[in-house]
Amino acid sequence: MRVGVLVLGFLTWVILLGISSAQPITELLKEYEEASELYRKTRKESLGHVIIFRREDLERMQAYRLADVLRSLRFFTLSNNRFGILTLNEYGGQTPIPKHIRLYINDHEVSSLHTGSPFLVWENFPIDIVEHIEIYQGIGAIELGNEPATLILKIYTKEPARENARTLRGSLTSRRGYGGVFYSAEEVSSSFSYIFLISDGSDNRKNYTLGGQKLSRDAFYRYAFLGLYFERAKLELGYGFVKKKPFMGFALDGVAEEGYTKAEDIYLSLTAYLSKDRSMKAVFSIDNHRRKHYEKSSSGLFIPVFFDPDPLKNPKDFYENAFFNKVDLYLSKEFRSKENKLLTAVSYKLYNSNIDSRRYTRLNGDVVNVGSTVPFNRQEIYSLILEDQLSLSERNLLIGGIKIDKYYRNGGFEDFLEYIVRAGYISVINENLSVKGFISKSYIPPYFYDTEISGRDLDPMEIPFSVSVEGMLKYGRLNLSLGGSYVRVEKAIVPDSMGLLTNSDRTIEAKPVFLSLDYLFSERGKLSAGVSSFIDPDVKTSPTFGGFVRVLASIRRFDLFSELVYRNGYTFRGKRVSDGYDLSAGVSYRIWKDLSVKLKGENLLGKASETPYLIYQTGDVVSFPVSERTLYLSVDWVF
Amino acid sequence: MRKVLLGLLVALIAFGAPVGGKSPEELEARILEKIFTDLIGKERVRVLILGDKERTVSKRLRIFSEKIDQVGSCEDADIVLLAGRLKDGLPEVCGDKPLFSLRREDVFKFESCVGAFYWKKGRPNILLIRERLEERKLYLPPEYNRYMESFRSLSLRSGGGM
C-alpha cells in the first residue's frame, strides 16, 4: 500500500509539473513578477527575524511615511516623545529616544549623528519611492557593518530599470496638512540608470490645550534623493529637512510657549564594486547633520544638566545650534564556495560634534552661554567584521559572526573596546516548515546627546545575552510564524533621580513572544494578523501586549485596506491609560491606468493608544495619541 | 479514496510547490519564447537580438530557451528582438522584419515594432499593437487579447511619446 501511495503522489506531482509548462501567458507573467520582487534578492535571513512590506502592500496601505508601517510592529507602541518626535516604545517601557533603532535607505544608515534615533529628520521620508521595507528584529546583526542595534529598518528605493516612469502625488489632510511628491526613475542605458525624488509637505496634528495654553507639534518637511547607478558603482545623495513646533519641550508646565526644532541631514554615499562578481566592495560616505533648537516657557524649563537648586537660576528659554558630521569608510570581501560564505570587512567611522552656540536665559534674566557641557566631541571607531555562513546541507545553514569595535574618544573620555558575537541556525525542514534561532552578545554605545544632556561620561549599555527562536509554517495559502526570545540588558542608560542620564546597576530582562500569520484569501486579497507580548515584564509603563489585523484587497479598479492595531492599557504614575484601538482604512480608485485617487483615514475610532507625559511642575500626567482622527485625500499620476 | 487523498498529501508535502522556484531570468526567457512561438506560429523560432543588452539577453535565452534559435542576420530571422538601445540604429535589411522590443518607447520609434515586453511602475507588461500584427498577418490566441492595443488609442493616451 505504501508503494502505491508514493506512486500516486509522484504521478500527481508529474501532472502538476506538466500543467506548469503549458502555462498561459498571464500566469507566466504573474509568476515572473513575483519571482522578480526585489526583496527576494535583498532579504537577509541571517540578519534576524524579518518582517517584509512588499510594494503592493505599501501601495494598497497608502503608506506615505514610516509611521504608517510601524504602527503594527510587534513589541513596540508607536509614540511621540515630549518634543513630538516619533519614537517606538518597547513593550513595558518609555523610550524617548530610540537609539537602538537603525534606519537604512538602501545601504546607507541615516540614524541621527546626535541622538542615534533616525526619526527626527526621516520620519516623513516619502514611502512613494520605496520598493519594499525589511524590518529585522535581531540583536547584534553585524553583516551590515552598522552601529549596534536591536531593530533594523531597511527601506529600499525603487529600481530604476523597473520603473521607467515619472510619478506625481499630491495629498491633502483633514487637518490642513499637505504633501507633494515627485520622482522619476529610469534606465537610461544598459550601464546607467537613475532615480530622483523631491518632496515637500506639512504634517499638521491636532493642537491640544494645557493650562489654557496651546500645545502644537506641527511640522514642515522637505526631502530630496538622487541615486545614480553604474555597472560597477553607485552614488546616492540624500537630503532631509524638518522644522517642528516644540510640543511640550523641556517646559516645567508641559507647554513650550514658543520655539522650534530645525534639523537638516545631507549625505553622500559612494559604493564601488572592485571585482566583477561584486564580491569586493568599497563604500565611502559622508553625513552632515545640523540641528537648531529654541524653546521658551514662562514657567521655566527643566533641563537636568542646567538644573539649579535656586529656582530663579533655572532657564526660561534655551537655544542651541549644533553641527555633526560623520565620515565612514567600509571595505568588504566575500569569499563564496558552494557550502560556505565568509564575509570579511573593515570599517572606519569618524564622528564630530560642534556646538556652535548654546545658551539659556535664567528666570532672573541672566543670559548664560554654556557651549559644550562635556569636552568630548570627537569619536573614531575602528571595526573588524567576520561572518561565516556554512551550509551544513541544502536545508541547514549555520551562521557565526564577530564584530570588534574599538572606540577612541577625545576630551578625556575613556576609550573602549566592545564586541558583538552572534551564532545562528536556519533550518528548512521541508517546503512547509522552517525554523531559525540566534544567540548573541551585543551592546549599544552612548551618543553625543546622552553625554551632552548629562554632562558626564557614560558606559555602553550591555546586552550580555540574548537568544531568539522562530518557527515558520506554510500551509497552502497560510503562512504562520511563532517566535520568542530572551534578552538580558545591563548598564542600561536611564535617568537618575535628578533626570541626568546614568548607567543603571539593575539587570533588565525581557521575554518577548509573538504569533503572526498571513493568509491569501483570494488572488489579490490578503489577511495579516498577529499578537505579541512581553512575558512578565520588569516595568509596565507602556503597553505590554498588542495585536493587529490587516486586510488588503483589490476588486476591479478598487484597492481596499483596513487595519486595526490593539495595545493594552496600563498605569503610568497613577494615571490609567486605556486600551488602544487604532483603526485605519483606505480606498483607492484607478480612474485610468496611470491616474488614481485615494482616500485614507487613520485613528478612525479616535481610540488609538495614548502616550503619557509627566508635567514636572505639578506631578500630574496627561496623555495624547500620536495622531487624532485624520483623513487623507491623494491623487497619484504616473507619466 | 483514502489512498488517493494520502497520495495527494504525499505529493504536496514531499514536493512542496513543484511549479515554484524558477528564477526571474528563466521566466523572462520562457515568456519571450512563448510570445515568439505563438506569434510566428512555429515550433522553433529564429531570432536576431540587437541592442546594448544583446549579450545578457542572448545568454539567458541560450540557457533557458530550447525553442529559440539565435541567428546573426536579419535575413535569417523570423523576428528581431530589440534588447536595449540601438547604438547605430536599425540595419536597413531589417526593415521588413517584425520587431519586438524590451522597451516600450520602441513601439513609437519603429513602425515595424509589433510589441514590447517591458517594466513600468515596478511591474512587467506586455504590449501588442493590433494593427501592426494584422498588417503582417500575425495572429495570436485569445489569451493575448488583454495585451492588445490599437496604436491610435495608445498614442492618443501617451501624447505620441512614451
Question: Residue A610 pLDDT more than 50?
Answer: yes
- Compare CB distances from B27 to A5, A24, A35 and report the shortest one's residue: A35
Tell me the pLDDT tens digit for each residue of B23-82. Answer: 889 999 999 999 999 998 888 999 999 998 888 899 999 999 889 999 988 889 999 999
- Domain extent for A457: 36-638
Note whether A318 and A360 are within 8 A (CB).
yes
DSSP letter (8 states) at residue A45: G
Closest CA to B154 of B105, B112, B99: B105
Q: Which residue does chain A place closest to B162, by CA atoms?
A: A639
Question: Residue A303 pLDDT more than 50?
Answer: yes
Query: Per the domain annotation, does A4 fall within a domain?
Result: no
CB contact under 8 A, B16 and A432: yes
User: What confidence score (pLDDT) does residue B156 get?
Assistant: 63
- Compare CB distances from A24 to B7, B22, B143 and report the shortest one's residue: B143
Closest CA to B29 of A442, A257, A35, A543: A35
User: What confidence score (pLDDT) does residue B14 get?
Assistant: 39
- Compare CB distances from A164 to B17, B84, B120 and report the shortest one's residue: B120
Band the pLDDT of B158: cuts 50, 70, 90. Answer: low
Find chain A residues with C-beta within 8 A of B8's C-beta.
8-9, 12
Q: Identify the helix (H) or strand (E) that includes residue B133.
A: helix B130-135
Q: Which of A10-19, A239-248, A308-317 has the lowest mean pLDDT?
A: A10-19
CA distance A106 to chain B (A): 17
The answer, for A1 touching chain B at a CB cutoff of 8 Å, is yes
Question: Residue A569 pLDDT more than 60?
Answer: yes
Q: Identify the helix (H) or strand (E) that includes residue B154.
A: helix B151-158
Query: Per the domain annotation, does A11 fall within a domain?
Result: no
Query: Per the domain annotation, does A31 fall within a domain?
Result: no
Tell me the pLDDT tens digit for each residue of A310-326. Answer: 989 999 999 999 999 99
Q: Which residue does chain A place closest to B125, by CA atoms?
A: A29
CB contact under 8 A, A638 and B123: no
**Mean per-residue pLDDT for A246-259?**
93
Tell me the CB-side half-sphere exposure of residue A575, using CA atoms within 13 A.
Answer: 15
CB contact under 8 A, B121 and A10: no
CB contact under 8 A, A431 and B122: no
Find chain A residues with C-beta within 8 A of B85's C-beta.
189-190
Tell me the pLDDT tens digit for each residue of B95-145. Answer: 788 999 999 989 999 999 999 999 999 899 999 999 999 998 888 999 999
User: What confidence score (pLDDT) does residue B19 get?
Assistant: 36
CB contact under 8 A, A5 and B118: no
Query: Per the domain annotation, does A26 fall within a domain?
Result: no
Question: Residue B2 pLDDT more than 70?
Answer: no
User: What confidence score (pLDDT) does residue A1 get?
Assistant: 43
Highest averaged pLDDT of the listed ranges A29-33, A514-518, B51-55, B101-105: A514-518
Find chain B residues with C-beta within 8 A of A4's C-beta.
3, 7
User: What confidence score (pLDDT) does residue A146 get?
Assistant: 66
Chosen from A15, A25, A157 to mutate, greatest number of chain B CBs within 10 A = A25
Cα distances from B73 to residues A165, B34, B53, B76, B91, in angstroms, run: 33, 22, 17, 6, 10
**Mean per-residue pLDDT for A252-256?**
93
The answer, for A207 touching chain B at a CB cutoff of 8 Å, is no
Residue A428's φ and ψ, nearest 5 degrees, are -100, 100
**Mean per-residue pLDDT for A130-143?**
84
Tell me the pLDDT tens digit for each residue of A137-173. Answer: 877 677 766 677 788 999 999 999 999 999 999 999 9
Cell of A127: 514611502
CB contact under 8 A, B11 and A29: no
**Mean per-residue pLDDT for A202-226?**
94
Question: Residue A14 pLDDT more than 60?
Answer: no
User: What confidence score (pLDDT) does residue A622 get?
Assistant: 94
Distance CA B66, CA B43 (A): 10
Band the pLDDT of A13: cuts 50, 70, 90. Answer: very low
- Percent of chain A scored above 90 by pLDDT? 75
The answer, for A590 touching chain B at a CB cutoff of 8 Å, is no
User: What confidence score (pLDDT) does residue A371 get?
Assistant: 86
User: What confidence score (pLDDT) does residue A100 get?
Assistant: 86
Q: Which of A8-17, A56-65, A295-304, B76-85 has the lowest mean pLDDT?
A: A8-17
Tell me the CB-side half-sphere exposure of residue A106, using CA atoms within 13 A.
Answer: 22
CA distance A43 to chain B (A): 16
Question: Residue A366 pLDDT more than 90?
Answer: yes
CA distance B147 to chain A (A): 10
Query: Per the domain annotation, does A12 fall within a domain?
Result: no
Query: Per the domain annotation, does A21 fall within a domain?
Result: no
Query: Per the domain annotation, does A615 fall within a domain?
Result: yes
Band the pLDDT of A192: cuts 50, 70, 90. Answer: very high
CB contact under 8 A, A5 and B10: yes
Tell me the pLDDT tens digit for each residue of B7-17. Answer: 443 443 333 33
Cα distance between the two ends of chain A: 62
CB contact under 8 A, A25 and B143: yes
User: What confidence score (pLDDT) does residue A37 get?
Assistant: 83
CB contact under 8 A, B119 and A163: yes
CA A52 to chain centre: 13
Find chain B residues with C-beta within 8 A of A20's C-beta.
18-19
Chosen from B4, B26, B27 to mutate, greatest number of chain A CBs within 10 A = B27
Question: Residue A496 pLDDT more than 50?
Answer: yes
User: What confidence score (pLDDT) does residue A22 get?
Assistant: 53
Question: Residue A561 pLDDT more than 90?
Answer: yes
User: What confidence score (pLDDT) does residue A79 get?
Assistant: 94
CA distance A32 to chain B (A): 6
Q: How do B99-101 and B113-120 pair as beta strands?
A: parallel
Find chain A residues with C-beta within 8 A of B3's C-beta.
1, 4-5, 8
CATH of the domain at A485: 2.40.170.20
Question: Residue A206 pLDDT more than 50?
Answer: yes
Question: Residue A289 pLDDT more than 60?
Answer: yes
CB contact under 8 A, A25 and B14: no
The answer, for A34 touching chain B at a CB cutoff of 8 Å, is no
Task: Tell me the pLDDT of chain A averaged across its residues.
Answer: 91
Q: Identify the helix (H) or strand (E) that includes residue B55.
A: helix B54-64
Query: Per the domain annotation, does A5 fall within a domain?
Result: no
User: What confidence score (pLDDT) does residue A20 get?
Assistant: 36
In this structure, chain B runs to a length of 162
Domains of chain B in start order, with CATH, are: 24-158 (3.40.50.2300)
Under DSSP, is residue B2 helix (H, G, I), strand (E, B) or coil? helix
User: What confidence score (pLDDT) does residue A382 get?
Assistant: 96
User: What confidence score (pLDDT) does residue A609 get?
Assistant: 94
User: What confidence score (pLDDT) does residue B161 get?
Assistant: 42
- Compare CB distances from A9 to B10, B146, B147 and report the shortest one's residue: B10
The answer, for A4 touching chain B at a CB cutoff of 8 Å, is yes
Q: What angle do CA A538, A140, A462 make, to 5 degrees?
A: 50
User: What confidence score (pLDDT) does residue A12 get?
Assistant: 43
Find chain A residues with C-beta within 8 A of B14's C-beta.
9, 13, 430
Query: Domains in chain A: how many in total?
Result: 1
Band the pLDDT of A590: cuts 50, 70, 90. Answer: very high
Find chain A residues with C-beta within 8 A of B23's C-beta.
35
Question: Residue A369 pLDDT more than 90?
Answer: yes
**Mean per-residue pLDDT for A165-188?**
95
